[in-house]
Amino acid sequence: MAAPASVPDFLALLRQSKLLEEQALEGQLQQLREAGALPQRPDDLAKLWIEQGILTPFQADGLLQGRWRGFFVGPYRVLEQIGAGGMGCVYLCEQESPRRRVAVKVLPLAKALNPAALERFYREAKATGILDHPNLIRANDVGQDREIHWLALEYVDGASLGEIVRRHGPLSLPRAAHYLRQAAAGLQHAFEVGLVHRDIKPSNLMLDRGGTVKLLDLGLARFFDDQNDNLTRKYGEGALGTADYISPEQADDSHTVDIRADIYSLGATGYFLLTGRPPFDEGTLTQKVVWHQIRDPKPIRDTRPDLPAEFVAVVEKMMAKGRADRFQTPAEVVAALAAWTQAPIPPPGDHEMPRLAQLGDAGKPTTSGTCEITPTAAPAGEKAPVVPAPSRSIGTLAVAIGLLLAGLLAVVGWLVLFRSR
């Protein structure tokens, strides 16, 4: 539908959207008419109702663009978009009864046509649904509305550790230790119920206003004791994960990794929290994955000489190349960090927390980017967070290259020996 050219056009769209009940809408209009304050332009009316908390900027923007659909996901009314990625868009929504805020993850329409993506989405719902721990995000509901598949999750009013570090710099030792300990505690619970996450990274660790870290996004999680949980092999996905934080063994075969892969990725996340950059912050995706297998990152203390060697050793042990050389369970990580987590730390500052545009909260910026949730339009602006799975796994390719180089060196050595005779 075309953008509204007049206030009646805008009101017609609003009525079609069902964002406001007719009685409430008429009450608002009556007040404006009696005060002689009814705007003559659609954008002026939208701005006024944003300021009064009647509409959110997300809702008003959609109406001004001529949209009346896409404001509800199942039983949830959409307030704002709060995140987007290759496996879904996340919206801050409100449930009417009981009245509460939830985060609703929506599978992009194009992904819903992909059997692997669809199965992985519902596996995430299953995985999240069985978790019950203060450091893990909880699932409330899952459903389908025509072509739209959605998962309602606990809403965390906070920011990711990745965002906090990128905006405000590396963390102090006490904060890094406490946040890593909480993440490890959540991972231990996941491990105990049979899950390996496979995508631990700073952007998947949410810090709320009270200082609690919650691990989210189980889109790549796998039940390691379930022999039928074989999506990775079923769809030929060799290497899954995020290149900056992927474990060496995960690059070879994501299907066979265990909790120690998550421990490695949590160590790489700790490296980022302390230095402000991932272990290998240059190069292509393929190069980064190979370097996780064969290189040591720049020592943390080169950047942070203020950190005690004992604490750095804990992070480095988490990032050991060999699985046997790491901590074997997240509980061991929790114990290793105990010396630096005895004293409580204050909650994060308000300057680190987000300012989302919500009902009754006018003038705050909206999340950039749009992810379409109407069943007649395709999603836009997707950015896949996972390492692309080539026809052969990246790790296998690296081994092949290594063997080729070894063969060339052998030939050169033979030629030198032959000429010396």
pLDDT digits over 118-150, tens only?
887 777 777 777 788 999 988 888 888 888 888
At 240 the pLDDT is 63
Nearest to 264 by CA among 240, 282, 244, 283: 244
Q: What H or E segment, with its residue span, contains residue 57? A: helix 57-64
Between CA 331 and CA 131 the distance in angstroms is 17
Higher pLDDT, 223 or 199: 199
- For residues 383 and 84, the answer to whether their CB atoms sit within 8 Å is yes
pTM: 0.75
- Note the pLDDT tens digit of each residue in 280-319: 998 998 899 999 999 999 999 999 999 999 999 999 999 9
> pLDDT confidence of 23, banded at 50, 70, 90?
very high
At 349 the pLDDT is 94
- Note the pLDDT tens digit of each residue in 363-376: 333 344 445 665 44
- For residues 63 and 1, the answer to whether their CB atoms sit within 8 Å is no
DSSP state of 319: T
Tokens coding 395: 């790790």
At 400 the pLDDT is 39
pLDDT at 395 > cutoff 60 = no
pLDDT at 277 > cutoff 50 = yes
Q: Can the peptide bond before residue 8 be classed as cis, meaning omega within 30 degrees of 0?
A: no
Nearest to 114 by CA among 77, 149, 154, 141: 149
Nearest to 270 by CA among 307, 295, 241, 324: 307
Which is the CATH superfamily of the domain at 72-154?
Phosphorylase Kinase; domain 1 (3.30.200.20)
At 51 the pLDDT is 94
> pLDDT confidence of 241, banded at 50, 70, 90?
low
Catalytic residue among 44, 132, 199, 350: 199
Domain ranges of the chain: 7-52, 72-154, 158-352
Q: Of 16-20, 50-54, 241-245, 313-317, which range is least confident?
A: 241-245
Which is the CATH superfamily of the domain at 158-352?
Transferase(Phosphotransferase) domain 1 (1.10.510.10)
SS3 255: helix
At 256 the pLDDT is 78
- For residues 268 and 278, the answer to whether their CB atoms sit within 8 Å is yes
- Note the pLDDT tens digit of each residue in 67-119: 999 899 988 999 999 877 666 788 999 987 777 899 998 888 777 788 877 88
> What average pLDDT does the chain have?
80
Annotated catalytic residue 145: no
Distances (CA, A) of 397 to 221, 255, 320, 330, 389: 24, 17, 22, 30, 12
At 1 the pLDDT is 67
- Note the pLDDT tens digit of each residue in 28-44: 999 999 999 999 999 99
Residues paired with 247 in a beta bridge = none
> pLDDT confidence of 195, banded at 50, 70, 90?
confident
| Cβ count within 10 A of residue 118 | 14
At 145 the pLDDT is 81
Between CA 178 and CA 135 the distance in angstroms is 12
- Note the pLDDT tens digit of each residue in 314-358: 999 999 999 999 999 999 999 999 999 999 999 999 999 987 544
pLDDT at 404 > cutoff 70 = no
